[in-house]
Amino acid sequence: MALAYTSFDELARLAQEAGTTISALVLADQARELETSQEALLARMEADLDVMAAAAEKGLDPGLRSASGLTGGAAARVAGAREQVCPGRFARHLAVALAVSECNAAMGKIVAAPTAGSCGILPGAVLPLLEDGTVTKDQAARALFTGGALGMVIANKASIAGAQGGCQAECGSASAMAAAVLTELWGGTPAQCAHAAAIALKCLLGLVCDPVAGLVEVPCVKRNASGVANALCAAQLALAGVESAIPCDQVIAAMDAVGQAMPCTLKETAKGGLAATKRGAELKKQLQGEQK
Amino acid sequence: MNIFDIIGPVMVGPSSSHTAGACRIGRVARSILNDQPVRAHISLCGSFAETGRGHGTDRALVAGLLGMDSDDARLPDALELAAAAGLEVTFDTRDLPGTHPNTAVVELEGKGGARCAVRASSVGGGNIRVDEVNGVKVSFTGAYNTLIILHTDEAGAIANVSGYIAGQGVNIATFACDRETKGGSSIMTVEIDGVLTEEQLDHLRALPAIHTVVQVKRI
């Protein structure tokens, strides 16, 4: 029977009972749904990983700037920093998330995951593990099916659009997807994947979408870095056996309710939050002056 | 919805609505013109007018006019590529109360003399809706092959068209019809699951009361 993608807890339970991973269930289901082979789907996901890697490379160019000039170069700074509060691979996760997001802002090619505004978080989670050989490309591509399945559940039961649910729906969803992917890649059980997703989404609940001048730049680029850090945190907790007191599906429902309660000024209209600050208004005015 | 609607689409940034959607609007306008565009006047409305430049909306629209997809790496250079390809483009901003916040009006002139005016909106996630063609209200997304049929409002015109399409074994997914006045000029918008050949389109054109038939290829 085809999977409905309306409950992530149910997906985790089905995988747990079948003694397999969430991604294996989803991959088999999607092959049936799209009337193609699992190999073809994996090849397509690997091609998406290639696009993500190319975007990261472009975004790491220290000279890269967006058309507005608001963003660019942050990834290169983090990648080249000597002082490391976040040692080793952790800083690399942040740099890659920034890089892909800055590539997006500079009109580079990206994979929306789930949206363009949150496109740095999944690559930020996965690519560093590929770069240092911790996981193979095949493993990474497979695990992304777990993240994609969670994204489908969120899209079905809540929203992945900032205009509907605020940033929690975009970067929050991406961070939860990344947490589930990381947990599976690090050998976590399906139940732990669901806990990781729940923890990640909980920690970004209520995050508003308040882009300065309406552009996918400030604060979006930095929220991609914090989104991947949040995913790493959630995966680490879940792998250690920490459980979310609220099940994943109910956190998703809470996210939907919070999104509906959120005023329109905080849902991508650029009329509230950081967009409405003194500096935010100045930048908008400045950019509109250039446009005319 | 499938997994690649979530991990995907592959697109040139920064915005699925303001960049990828804008590119699709350009593509659909080119498809409606059904000719190589040599002149384009584009009006940006609402949020397209306010934040368009920062999102590359202008370049994305022109990339679409040149036939590019929203994942084409040449998209940021579309304005220069248009000039090189002999496509003259002008822009303005316009206030169109009551329309979707992300709206563009594209007026095109083709090499063979064809002309068209298309108003379309980017409705989220890179999806678009065409709202008006040559002054007549329509509603289609470009996700299907779409027939735009200008005809005279008279009895049997719709039955003839739908009957012919059915006879060719092609399923109609959605159908809409709107007229200016009773007995005046009217427009059918027909989204189909299959595709019609040029020969089949000629047959439609020869039906009574039918003036023009354009097939907008799925984008």
**pLDDT in 10s for each residue of chain A, 292 residues:** 789 999 999 999 999 999 999 999 999 999 999 889 999 999 999 999 999 999 999 999 999 999 899 999 999 999 999 888 888 899 999 999 999 999 999 999 999 999 999 999 999 999 999 999 999 999 999 999 999 999 999 999 999 988 889 999 999 999 999 999 999 999 999 999 999 999 999 999 999 999 999 999 999 999 999 999 999 999 999 999 999 999 999 999 999 999 999 998 999 888 999 999 999 999 999 988 775 5
**What ipTM does the predicted assembly reach?**
0.96
Domain ranges of chain B: 9-134, 145-216
The tens digit of pLDDT for each residue in B57-88 reads 999 999 999 999 999 999 999 999 999 999 99
pLDDT at position B185 is 87
pLDDT at position B217 is 79
Q: Cβ contacts of residue B55 below 8 Å, gap of 6+? A: A215, A216, B14, B15, B18, B19, B22
Chain A (109-168) residues lying within 8 Å, Cβ to Cβ, of chain B: 109-117, 119, 122, 144-145, 147-149, 151-152, 155-156, 160-161, 163
- Model confidence at B29, pLDDT cuts 50, 70, 90, reads very high
Which DSSP helix (H) or strand (E) runs through A225? helix A220-239
Residue of A nearest to B71 (CA): A109
CB contact under 8 A, A109 and B11: yes
| Contact by Cβ (8 Å): A26, A148 | yes
Which homologous superfamily is B9-134 in?
D-3-phosphoglycerate dehydrogenase; domain 3 (3.30.1330.90)
The tens digit of pLDDT for each residue in B111-170 reads 999 999 999 999 877 888 999 988 888 889 888 899 999 899 999 999 999 999 999 999
pLDDT at position B50 is 82
DSSP codes, A17-58? HHTS-HHHHHHHHHHHHTTS-HHHHHHHHHHHHHHHHHHHHH
CATH code of B145-216, in short, is 3.30.70.260
CB contact under 8 A, B54 and A217: yes
Residue of B nearest to A26 (CA): B3
CB contact under 8 A, B13 and A109: yes
Query: At B163, is the secondary structure helix, strand, or coil?
Result: helix
The tens digit of pLDDT for each residue in A63-96 reads 999 989 999 999 999 999 988 888 889 999 999 9
Residue of A nearest to B73 (CA): A109
Query: At A169, is the secondary structure helix, strand, or coil?
Result: helix
The tens digit of pLDDT for each residue in A212-231 reads 999 999 999 999 999 999 99
CB contact under 8 A, A114 and B7: yes
Q: Is A215 on the interface with B (CB under 8 A)?
A: yes
